[in-house]
């Protein structure tokens, strides 16, 4: 095979690769418009392989226990202590999930007087504060 033939083959492979990435996403994008999506007016419907498939709405909360809860040899004063120090903390879709984790921590290693604080950033941009005691 000549150098020109190899070069044409490489270009062909690049074009095929780009098409394999583009076609499913473009198809999903069209399905969103067919499903009623209007930019800046309505949210897109969730469709597999669409351009926004990773842009799920989450509610972020800062969860703390005071005094810290004890799980085996570990001491957790907040949800951040329960994960590795990466670039983000554990996240859930809904505030209720954070409440459930807070209560689970209380049930596993909290004291009856342990106070739970939740500072949440909700999907609509609202910030809420909650305080309650372990049950």
Q: Judge if 66 and 124 occupy the same domain.
A: yes
Q: Judge if 76 and 31 occupy the same domain.
A: no
**pLDDT tens digits for 89-100?**
677 888 899 999
Domain with 120 in it? 60-133
Q: Judge if 42 and 99 occupy the same domain.
A: no
End-to-end CA distance of the chain: 76
Query: Is-contact 93 123, C-beta < 8 A?
Result: no
pLDDT tens for each residue of the chain, 135 residues long? 666 777 888 899 999 999 998 898 888 888 878 878 777 776 666 666 665 555 667 788 899 999 888 888 888 888 888 877 665 667 788 889 999 999 888 888 878 888 999 999 887 778 999 999 987
How many other C-beta atoms are found inside a 10 Å radius of the C-beta of residue 10? 10
Q: Judge if 74 and 98 occupy the same domain.
A: yes
Q: Judge if 39 and 71 occupy the same domain.
A: no
Q: For the chain, where are the alpha helices, taking DSSP H only?
A: 3-34, 95-109
pLDDT given at position 110 = 77
pTM above 0.85, yes or no: no
């Amino acid at each position: 095979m000549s150098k020109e033939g190899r070069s044409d083959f490489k270009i062909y492979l690049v074009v095929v690769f780009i098409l394999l990435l583009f076609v499913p996403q473009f198809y999903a994008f069209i399905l969103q418009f067919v499903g009623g999506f209007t930019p800046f007016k309505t949210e897109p419907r969730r469709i597999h392989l669409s351009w926004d498939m990773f842009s799920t709405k989450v509610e972020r909360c800062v969860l703390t226990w005071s005094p810290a809860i004890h799980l085996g040899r570990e001491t957790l004063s907040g949800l951040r202590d329960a994960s590795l120090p990466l670039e983000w903390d554990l996240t859930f879709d809904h505030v209720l999930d954070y409440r459930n984790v807070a209560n689970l921590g209380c049930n596993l290693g909290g004291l009856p007087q342990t106070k739970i604080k939740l500072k949440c950033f909700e999907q609509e941009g609202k910030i809420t504060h909650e305080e309650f005691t372990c049950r």
